[in-house]
Amino acid sequence: MKRTVLLMLAAALVAAAATAQTASLSNLAWMSGRWVDDSDGNLSEEVWTAPSGDSMMGMWRLVAGGKAKVFELLSIKAESDGIIMRLRHFDARFVPREEREKPVELTLVGWNAREARFEGPAVGALGLVSLTYRRPSNDMLTCTLEKEGKKEEYSFRRAP
């Protein structure tokens, strides 16, 4: 019984890896647009360009109390070993948080028509980081961050 469960788990992992390898950037075009959450008087804004060539670009910013707190630059790039997301965080003066040579690097590990999951090693910490983007409706984008056993969800609506 234990062997059967292990074989089923291995088959599921191989299927997930094969799915991620056959994905193309066009499968992520649904992320494109300007997405905002301006509840509680703050602004959380994420913008994704449409796929072009082998890449997509994104940015996120947090404005609280009328002041920029955090900026994040993101790229999604089709490479020979899969689709890779890289990101870096900056403070309001554009001082980077991550090391110069080590952006956060996450690999697309699963996707469907309205969901994409990226995973990779946590920078400066143990374990994995995962980001899951979902498009539950045409005017909504969610992003779930899982890191060090904690889960945070961000919800955005399409900006006009």
Give the CATH number of the domain where residue 121 resides: 2.40.128
Q: What range defines the domain where residue 102 resides?
A: 2-158
**Cα–Cα distance for residue pair 76/79, rounded to 1 Å:** 10
pLDDT at site 14: 42
Taking only the tens place, the pLDDT of each residue in 99-123 is 777 889 999 999 999 999 999 987 7
pLDDT tens across 43-91, in order? 999 999 999 999 999 999 999 999 999 999 999 999 999 999 999 999 9
How many domains does one find in the chain? Answer: 1
- Indicate whether this model's pTM tops 0.75: yes
What is the percent of the chain with per-residue pLDDT over 90, rounded to a whole number? 69
Quickly list DSSP for the chain: -HHHHHHHHHHHHHHHHHHHHH--GGGGGGG-EEEEE-GGG-EEEEEEPPPBTTEEEEEEEEEETTEEEEEEEEEEEEETTEEEEEEEEEETT--BSS-TT--EEEEEEEEETTEEEEEEEPTTSSSEEEEEEEEEETTEEEEEEEETTEEEEEEEEE--
- Indicate the average pLDDT of the chain: 86
